[in-house]
């Protein structure tokens, strides 16, 4: 995370060699990816990057051909290519029979974002890099992207993403790095960040909406756990509080005043 111009996208583009640093080195799996050898090539093949504007990544006339392009370049046979296309589209929630023959340029923004991810998943990467994966998307489309990331991570693989969406971060991120003019100014678990109001204010980052809501309840004398970032956890906490008649009235009064 970080303000516009802090170096987020620039950093991402260094991780698979799209940009080369003027000084310093880049190590992934203890391999300096600026070297030129077979080990470096293997590491780069294990890194998939999805850019902020997915429509810029498409160049084929059909969804099938766009997703198949990467596997074909790997020299895979047609049977394996078809398998990877089907599996990748399924992984991002695009039904093969419905989408395979459609033009990538005639899809919605959310579908295009998911198709761009499918093109990368078809390469079977170990590391998925996403630049602003939810920008411009409605809540439902953002939730679908969130589920794709969670499912990918459950396979024991890593995801790095740049985003301005603090609520998206609060739901799925494990570790947060904040950049400021190319410098790392915070690197730690999200719990440490969201409990550090000074850092949030200094780098113009809001509290996640759920946490801000729980903070407001606490300010109004309702003894909730305000270290909560998700709707499900907030529901659990509120159900416990609402079981007490005294606090039920306080919550209702707060909600009435807020409305």
Q: Where are the alpha helices (DSSP H) in the chain?
A: 8-14, 38-45, 63-73, 78-91, 96-99, 109-121, 139-154, 166-172, 190-194, 197-202, 209-219, 231-242, 245-258
The Cα 192–Cα 185 span in angstroms is 13
Tell the burial category of 42 from Cβ atoms under 10 Å away from its Cβ (0-12, 13-18, 19+).
Answer: exposed
Structure tokens at 97: 């029979």
pLDDT at 256: 59
Contact between residue 66 and residue 106 where contact means Cβ atoms under 8 Å apart: no
- pLDDT, residue 219, reads 85
- Going residue by residue through the chain (259 aa), what tens digit of pLDDT does each one get? 999 899 999 999 888 788 888 888 888 888 888 887 767 777 778 899 998 887 788 989 999 999 999 999 989 999 999 999 999 999 999 999 999 999 999 999 899 999 999 999 999 999 999 999 998 888 888 999 999 999 999 999 999 999 999 999 999 999 999 999 999 999 999 989 998 989 999 999 988 999 888 888 888 888 888 888 888 888 998 888 888 888 887 777 776 555 4
Backbone angles phi, psi at 187, to 5 degrees: -150, 105
pLDDT at 232: 87
Task: Look at residues 242, 225, 243, 209 and name the one whose alpha carbon lies nearest to residue 251.
Answer: 242
127-131: strand order across its sheet:
47-50, 127-131, 158-162
Q: Which of 201, 236, 195, 231 is nearest to 213 (CA)?
A: 231
Q: Quick one: which H or E segment has residue 187?
A: strand 183-189
Q: Which domains, and CATH codes, for the chain? A: 8-201 (3.40.50.300), 209-258 (no CATH)
**168, 142 Cβ separation under 8 angstroms:** yes
Whether the CB-CB separation of 190 and 176 falls below 8 Å is answered with yes
């Amino acid at each position: 995370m970080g303000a516009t111009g802090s170096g987020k996208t620039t950093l991402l583009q260094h991780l698979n060699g799209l940009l080369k640093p003027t000084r310093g080195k880049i190590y992934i799996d203890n391999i300096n990816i600026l070297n030129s050898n077979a080990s470096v090539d293997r590491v780069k093949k294990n890194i998939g990057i999805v850019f902020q504007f997915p429509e810029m990544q498409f160049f084929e006339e059909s969804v099938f051909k766009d997703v198949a392009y990467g596997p074909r370049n790997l020299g895979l046979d047609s049977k394996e290519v078809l398998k990877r296309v089907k599996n990748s589209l399924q992984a991002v929630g695009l039904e093969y029979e419905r989408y395979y023959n459609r033009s990538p340029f005639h899809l919605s923004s959310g579908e295009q974002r998911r198709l761009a991810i499918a093109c990368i998943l078809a390469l079977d990467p170990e590391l998925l890099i996403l630049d602003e994966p939810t920008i411009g998307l409605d809540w439902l489309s953002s939730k679908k992207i969130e589920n794709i990331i969670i499912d990918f991570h459950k396979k024991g693989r890593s995801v790095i993403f740049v985003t301005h969406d603090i609520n998206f971060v609060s739901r799925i991120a494990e570790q947060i790095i904040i950049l400021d003019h190319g410098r790392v100014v915070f690197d730690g678990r999200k719990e440490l960040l969201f409990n550090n109001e000074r850092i949030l204010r200094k780098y113009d980052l809001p509290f996640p909406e759920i946490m801000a809501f729980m903070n407001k309840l606490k300010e109004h004398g309702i003894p909730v756990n305000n270290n909560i970032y998700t709707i499900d956890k907030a529901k659990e906490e509120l159900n416990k509080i609402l079981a007490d008649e005294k606090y039920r009235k306080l919550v209702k009064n707060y909600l009435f005043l807020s409305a």
